[in-house]
C-alpha cells in the first residue's frame, strides 16, 4: 500500500514535469508573472503610510502668498517706563543736571570720583594729542598701541597677577571670556544672582549651566556632590568635562559679597575652577582696592580668572581679565570680543592708567569709600516700607519694597514715585533696570543707590532723610 502511494506521488511529479515541458510559453510567462506578483504583494506594504506628494510650484506660490509674518518689532506704548530716558546735560559727575534739574548724583558708578578728575582728564588729553580718538582696527591688525600694552602691564601688576588682557567694552569682557574656556558639554556652576553679562556669556558658551541659590554654599556643594556621583558613573566623560564656578565679587543685582574663602575650599575639594567677576568690587574692596581677593586675604592665584570692567571705579570704558598667563593668553586668540572688535580708544586707556596711578597713590580713598558706605547703610535702616539690600561695604546697594503691592508693575510705579520725589529734592537716584523677560532669575524691583567718595557726610545724611521722607509720603 505504502509502495502504491509512493508510486502515485512519483507519477504525479513526473506528470507535473511533463506538463511543464508541454505547457505553451505564454502560459509559463503568465504564471511567472503571477508568482512575481504574489511575491510583490507579500513584501510590499499594502498602502503608503504617508502619501508624499510634492507641492506643485503653484501651491508653493500660494503658500508664499498666504504667509503673513509678525512685524519686526511689536509696538511700544508711548508711556512705556523705559522709553523716555532721563536726559543728563553736562558731565555725569558728582553734581549732575538731570532733566534740567541740578542734583547730587547717587546713580552713576563713579565710586572714586575719577570721572571728573583733572589728572585723569589731562592724561586723556595728552593721549588724544598723540593718537587721536579711534584706533581704526582690532588688536591684531595695527590696533595695538603702546598705551594698551602699558595698561595691560599696569593692571596685571596692580592685581598681582602674571598677565592681563583688555577689552574695549565692559559688557563684552566676561561675556567673551566665558565662551573662550567653557564649551559645549562643560559644566558651569553659577550663582543665580549673576549679572546679565555672565548670563549672556554662558549662553554663548552652550555649556551645561547649574544654578545655585544666591550665596548659598550648601546648595552649591549639593550640586557639586551630585555632579561627583554623576562623574563616577561615567569616568571617561568626566575626565574631559571642564568644571567652573562663576561668581561675582560684589553682586550687581544684590549688593552682596561672595563668600570667597568657602568657594576656594570647594574649588580644591571638587577640583573646579573659579572665575570671578569683579566689576563692582575692583577698586572698591580691599585695602588697596584690589577687590574681593584682597578683602578676604586670599592668594589671587587661587582664582583662575578675574574679570572686571573699567567703567565703574576707573571711570573709563572697557574691561579686563587677569590671571595666570596659562589662562589669560588663550583669550588673545579665542576671546571673540578681543579678536573681532576694534581696540579701546587710546585716550580711554590713558584715562584708566592715570586712574590706576591715583588709586595706587591714595590707598586711603578705599577706606573713605567704605566709611561712607557704612554711613548711608546705617542711615537707611528702618525706613517703613523699604528694606536695604546689600553688604555693609557695598557702594551700590538696593532699596526694595518691604511688601510687594502684588504686581511688579505697581511696585515699579511706587519706586518711580520715590525716585521722582528725591529727584525733585536734588537727589538723583535711579531704579535698577532689567530686561524682565530675558533675566534668568529676575531680581525684585529696586532703587539702586550708589555711594561715591565725593559725597560728603551731610549729603549722605540728606539723601537718607529725603529717601525716608519720600517713602513716608509715597508708601503711607
Partner 1 sequence: MERPEQGLGEPDSHPHANGCSLTGYGALRNGYVRGLPEAENQIHHIAHNGGLYRRPFNEAFEETPMLVAVLTYVGYGVLTLFGYLRDFLRQWKIEKCHHASEREEQKDFVPLYQDFENFYTRNLYMRIRDSWNRPICSVPGAKVDMIERLSHDYNWTFTYTGRVIKDVINMGSYNYLGFAQNTGICKEAAAKVLTQYGAGVCSTRQEMGNLDKHEELEKLVAKFLGVEAAMTYGMGFSTNSMNIPALVGKGCLILSDELNHASLVLGARLSGATIRIFKHNNMQSLEKLLRDAIVHGQPRTRRPWKKILILVEGIYSMEGSIVRLPEVIALKKKYKSYLYLDEAHSIGALGLTGRGVVEYFGLNPEDVDVMMGTFTKSFGAAGGYIGGKKELIDYLRTHSHSAVYATSLSPPVMEQILTSMKCIMGEDGTTFGKECVQQLAENTRYFRRQLKERGFIIYGNEDSPVVPLMLYMPAKIGAFGREMLKRNIGVVVVGFPATPIIESRARFCVSAAHTKEILDTVLKELDEVGDLLQLKYSRHRLVPLLDRPFDETTYEETED
Q: Per CB under 8 A, which of residues 176..215 are in contact with partner 1?
A: 181, 195-197, 200, 203-204
What is the rounded distance in angstroms from the CA atom of residue 444 to the CA atom of residue 432? 9
Binding positions for partner 1, 12-31, rule CB under 8 A:
none
The interface mask with partner 1, positions 355-374, x = CB under 8 A, is --------------------
* 273: Cα separation from own chain's centroid: 18
Helix 146-159 / helix 346-361 crossing angle, nearest 10 deg: 30
**For partner 1, which residue of 94, 104, 139, 475 counts as binding (CB under 8 A)?**
139
CB of 349 to partner 1, least distance (A): 10
Residue closer to partner 1 (CB basis): 345 or 445: 345
Residue closer to partner 1 (CB basis): 94 or 370: 94
Q: Any contact of residue 435 with partner 1 (CB under 8 A)? A: yes
Residue closer to partner 1 (CB basis): 195 or 389: 195
Q: Which stretch binds partner 1 (CB under 8 A): 12-20, 120-128, 222-230, 396-404?
A: 120-128
**For partner 1, which residue of 17, 36, 133, 368 counts as binding (CB under 8 A)?**
133
Contact (CB, 8 A) for 329 and 305: no
What is the rounded distance in angstroms from the CA atom of residue 217 to the CA atom of residue 224? 10
What is the rounded distance in angstroms from the CA atom of residue 363 to the CA atom of residue 374? 18
Closest CA to 166 of 327, 359, 347, 332: 332
Q: Any contact of residue 107 with partner 1 (CB under 8 A)? A: yes
Strand partners, 323: 163, 305
Q: Which stretch binds partner 1 (CB under 8 A): 266-274, 391-399, 407-415, 462-470?
A: 266-274
CB of 93 to partner 1, least distance (A): 7
Residue 17 backbone phi and psi in degrees, to 5: -60, -40
Q: Any contact of residue 80 with partner 1 (CB under 8 A)? A: yes
Q: Any contact of residue 309 with partner 1 (CB under 8 A)? A: yes
CB of 33 to partner 1, least distance (A): 41
With a CB cutoff of 8 Å and minimum separation 6, the contacts of 443 are 193, 253, 254, 398, 432, 434
**For partner 1, which residue of 337, 390, 395, 443 counts as binding (CB under 8 A)?**
337
Strand partners, 397: 449
Contact (CB, 8 A) for 144 and 342: no
CB of 152 to partner 1, least distance (A): 11
Binding positions for partner 1, 272-291, rule CB under 8 A:
272-273
**For partner 1, which residue of 12, 13, 33, 333 counts as binding (CB under 8 A)?**
333
**For partner 1, which residue of 95, 101, 119, 144 counts as binding (CB under 8 A)?**
144
**For partner 1, which residue of 115, 322, 373, 383 counts as binding (CB under 8 A)?**
115
Nine cell digits for residue 201: 556669556
Closest CA to 444 of 396, 473, 410, 421: 410
Neighbour-count burial of 273, counting CB atoms closer than 10 A to its CB (0-12 exposed, 13-18 middle, 19+ buried): middle
What does the DSSP assignment read for 372-431? Answer: HHHHHHHHTTTBTTEEEES-TT-SEEEEEESS--SSHHHHHHHHHHHHHHHHHTTEE-EE
CB of 297 to partner 1, least distance (A): 18
Residue closer to partner 1 (CB basis): 45 or 80: 80
How many residues belong to the site for partner 1 (CB under 8 A)? 122
Amino acid at each position: 500500500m505504502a509502495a502504491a502511494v509512493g508510486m502515485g506521488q512519483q507519477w504525479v511529479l513526473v506528470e507535473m514535469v511533463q506538463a511543464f515541458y508541454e505547457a505553451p510559453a505564454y502560459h509559463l510567462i503568465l504564471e511567472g508573472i503571477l508568482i512575481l506578483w504574489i511575491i510583490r504583494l507579500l513584501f510590499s506594504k499594502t498602502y503608503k503610510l504617508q502619501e508624499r506628494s510634492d507641492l506643485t510650484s503653484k501651491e508653493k506660490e500660494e503658500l508664499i502668498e498666504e504667509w503673513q509674518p509678525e512685524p519686526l518689532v511689536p509696538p511700544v506704548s508711548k508711556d512705556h517706563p523705559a522709553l523716555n530716558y532721563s536726559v543728563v546735560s553736562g558731565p555725569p559727575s558728582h553734581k549732575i543736571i538731570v532733566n534740567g534739574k541740578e542734583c547730587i548724583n547717587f546713580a552713576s558708578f563713579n565710586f572714586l570720583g575719577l570721572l571728573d578728575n583733572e589728572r585723569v582728564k589731562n592724561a586723556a588729553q595728552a593721549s588724544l594729542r598723540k593718537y587721536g580718538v579711534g584706533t581704526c582696527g582690532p588688536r591684531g591688525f595695527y590696533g595695538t598701541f603702546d598705551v594698551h600694552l602699558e595698561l595691560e602691564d599696569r593692571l596685571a601688576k596692580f592685581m598681582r597677577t602674571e598677565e592681563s588682557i583688555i577689552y574695549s567694552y565692559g559688557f563684552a569682557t566676561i561675556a567673551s571670556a566665558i565662551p573662550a574656556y567653557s564649551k559645549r558639554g562643560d559644566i558651569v556652576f553659577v550663582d543665580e544672582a549673576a549679572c546679565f553679562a555672565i548670563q549672556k556669556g554662558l549662553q554663548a558658551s552652550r555649556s551645561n549651566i547649574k544654578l545655585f541659590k544666591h550665596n548659598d554654599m550648601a546648595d552649591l556643594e549639593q550640586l557639586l556632590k551630585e555632579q561627583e556621583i554623576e562623574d563616577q558613573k561615567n569616568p571617561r566623560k568626566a575626565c574631559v568635562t571642564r568644571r567652573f564656578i562663576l561668581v561675582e565679587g560684589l553682586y550687581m543685582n544684590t549688593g552682596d559679597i561672595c563668600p570667597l574663602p568657602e568657594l576656594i575650599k570647594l574649588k580644591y575639594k571638587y577640583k573646579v575652577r573659579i572665575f570671578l567677576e569683579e566689576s563692582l568690587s575692583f577698586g572698591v574692596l580691599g585695602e588697596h582696592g584690589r577687590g574681593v581677593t584682597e578683602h578676604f586675604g586670599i592668594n589671587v592665584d587661587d582664582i583662575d580668572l578675574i574679570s572686571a570692567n573699567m567703567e565703574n571705579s576707573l571711570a573709563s570704558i572697557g574691561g579686563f581679565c587677569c590671571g595666570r598667563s596659562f589662562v589669560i593668553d588663550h583669550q588673545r586668540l579665542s576671546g571673540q570680543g578681543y579678536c573681532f572688535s576694534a581696540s579701546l580708544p587710546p585716550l580711554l586707556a590713558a584715562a584708566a592708567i592715570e586712574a590706576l596711578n591715583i588709586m595706587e597713590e591714595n590707598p586711603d580713598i578705599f577706606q573713605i569709600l567704605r566709611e561712607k558706605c557704612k554711613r548711608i547703610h546705617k542711615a537707611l535702616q528702618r525706613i517703613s516700607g523699604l528694606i536695604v539690600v546689600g553688604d555693609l561695604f557695598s557702594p551700590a546697594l538696593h532699596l526694595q519694597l518691604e511688601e510687594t503691592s502684588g504686581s511688579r508693575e505697581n511696585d515699579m510705579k511706587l519706586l518711580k514715585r520715590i525716585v521722582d520725589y528725591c529727584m525733585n529734592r536734588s537727589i538723583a537716584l535711579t531704579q535698577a533696570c532689567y530686561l524682565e523677560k530675558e533675566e534668568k532669575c529676575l531680581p525684585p524691583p529696586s532703587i539702586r543707590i550708589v555711594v561715591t567718595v565725593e559725597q560728603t557726610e551731610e549729603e549722605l545724611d540728606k539723601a537718607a532723610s529725603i529717601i525716608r521722607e519720600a517713602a513716608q509720603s509715597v508708601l503711607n
